[in-house]
Amino acid sequence: MIRNFDELIEKIYSGGAKKTVAVVAAHEEHTLEAVDLACKNNIADPILIGDGEKIRELIDAHGFQLKDAEILEEKDDSEAAKAAVAMVKNGNADFLMKGRLQTADLLREVVNKERGLHTGSVMSHFGIFELPNYHKLLVLTDAGMLPCPDANEKAQIIANAVKVLRDLGYECPKVAALAAAELVNKKMQESIDADLLKKMNQDGRLTGCIVEGPISFDLMFSAESAKIKGYESPVTGDADILLMPNMTSGNILAKAFQYVGGAKMAGMIVGAKVPIVLVSRGSAAQEKYLSMVLSAAAAQKQQH
């Protein structure tokens, strides 16, 4: 169990050598601020791809210690994404980071069948949150890749998230397959999927974790609520991973955690050949930095 981002950062600092990150469309203040902090803390060395003039202006204006960083001139977003993916394939970068460009422009190159970073498995978004009123970090998936995953894709989403947590030292992550209620309802596909995923976990088709579902948010979050309702499960009040019914619900809950609940967040794409730092273009530098820390740790484990 990792209780907060300070513990996560401490764990990653002790992990080994710095990684190289290819930053796509790096001409953005908060992106460069996060990269600057990652450099200062020996998390990553950057290759900055984008509008070189704007990148240098931002470095000078904000006093970032990035004057010696490698800068690759490429003003076209699609070409910048293509260059970054090529760097990974050539072994010149260990992970990617999205800067000032549309997510679709980056992911189009990542998923390209001829030159992309596909591994043959589903790619999914891994968001991890530090909530003021929860006792440990909580993963939410998927909130950014698969609009309406079927049960098989949800199993792969779980497997992706479980792998990350196990690499971080978790023995058996607890997964809550969320639905509106804890009963299977034939009119609610997410409850049918959750029931199937639990059975897949029980019969050994989905391993390395405990899957509970369908389960409502209140029972997942509060052991007291579960007790009142007479619902018994090792996941109640102690979930590590929230499997969302679809991308829309995941996106809404993730933003509610942040904007209403005051949560800190880190996010990345997993399931590709390397992790991809993927947060909103409007995200603050702290979120982008924490996402770099998380992705650097995942890249380290992928290469071992």
- Phi and psi torsions of 224, nearest 5°: -65, -45
Q: Which residues, 6 or more positions from 145, have their beta carbon under 8 angstroms from its beta carbon?
A: 107, 123, 124, 125, 247, 269
pLDDT band, residue 98 (cuts 50/70/90): very high
The pLDDT tens digits of the residues spanning 75-84 come to 999 999 999 9
- Phi and psi torsions of 33, nearest 5°: -65, -40
CA distance 84 to 145: 20
What's the confidence (pLDDT) of residue 303? 58
CA distance 222 to 238: 8
Taking each helix axis from N to C end, the angle separating 285-302 and 29-40, rounded to the nearest 10 degrees, works out to: 50
What are the residues facing 202 on neighbouring strands?
A: none
How far, rounded to the nearest angstrom, does the alpha carbon of residue 93 sit from its chain's CA centroid? 19
What's the confidence (pLDDT) of residue 173? 98
Greater model confidence, 42 or 131: 131
Q: What is the mean pLDDT of residues 260-286?
A: 89
pTM beyond 0.85, yes or no: yes
* Contact yes or no for 25/50 (Cβ under 8 A): yes
Tokens for 22, please give them: 């290819």
What's the confidence (pLDDT) of residue 300? 77
Q: In this model, does residue 196 exceed pLDDT 90?
A: yes
Residue 166 CB: number of other CB atoms within 10 A? Answer: 15
The DSSP-derived string for 25-69 is: T---HHHHHHHHHHHHTTSEEEEEEE-HHHHHHHHHHHT-S-TTS
* Residue listed under structure tokens 């607890």: 174
Region of poorest pLDDT, from 11-20, 82-91, 94-103, 274-283: 11-20
3-state DSSP: the chain helix, strand, coil percent, rounded to 5?
40, 20, 40
- DSSP conformational letter for 187: T
Residue 90 CB: number of other CB atoms within 10 A? Answer: 8
Tokens for 254, please give them: 């993730």
Tokens for 52, please give them: 């070189």
Query: What length is written for the chain?
Result: 304
- Phi and psi torsions of 243, nearest 5°: -90, 120
Q: Which helix (H) or strand (E) holds 263?
A: none
Q: What is the mean pLDDT of residues 284-294?
A: 91
pLDDT band, residue 16 (cuts 50/70/90): low
pLDDT band, residue 275 (cuts 50/70/90): very high
Q: Is 218 exposed, middle or buried (0-12, 13-18, 19+ CB in 10 A)?
A: middle
pLDDT band, residue 284 (cuts 50/70/90): confident
Q: Which residues, 6 or more positions from 107, have their beta carbon under 8 angstroms from its beta carbon?
A: 145, 269
Mean pLDDT over all residues of the chain?
Answer: 93
Q: What is the mean pLDDT of residues 227-243?
A: 95
CA distance 19 to 40: 13
